[in-house]
Structure 1
Amino acid sequence: MLAASVTTVMAGSSPSWLWYATRGLGMSTLIILTATVVVGIGAALRWETRRSPRFVTADLHRNLSLLAVVLLALHITTTLLDPFAQISVRDAVIPTGAAYRPVWLGLGVVAAEMLIAVAASSLLRSRVGPRTWRVIHWLAYASWPLAVVHGLGTGSDSQAAWMVGIDAACVTAVTVAVARRLLHGRLSSLPIRVVGAAAAVASLALASSWAVAGPLQPGWSVRAGTPVVVASKPTTVHPRPGGFSHPLAGVIVRASSGTQLSMRDMVDTGLTLSLRSPTSTETLPVLALARDGRPICTVPATAGTVLYAVCGEVRLTIALYLSGSSVRGLLTTSGPLG
Structure 2
Amino acid sequence: MSSPWSSLRVSPATRKKLLWVLPSAVAVLTLVVFAARIFRDSATGQAFLTDFPGQSELPAGAPTGFPAWLNFQHFLNAFFIVLIVRTGWLVRTTQRPAAYWMRKNTGLIRTKKAPTKISIHLWLHLSLDALWTLNGVIFIVLLFITGQWMRLVPTTWAVFPNAVSSALQYASLNWPLENGWVNYNSLQQLAYFTIVFIAAPLAILTGLRMSAIWPQPSSTASKVFPLELARAIHFPVMLFFVLFVIMHVTLVLTTGALRNLNHMYATNSGESWLGFGIFAGTLMLTVAAWILAKPVFLQPLASLGGKVTRQ
TM-score range, shorter chain: 0.3 to 0.5
**TM-score scaled to structure 1, two decimals?**
0.33
Highest RCO, 1 vs 2 (Cα 8 Å, sep ≥ 6)? 2
Larger Rg over CA atoms: 1
Higher fraction of strand = 1
**TM-score scaled to structure 2, two decimals?**
0.35
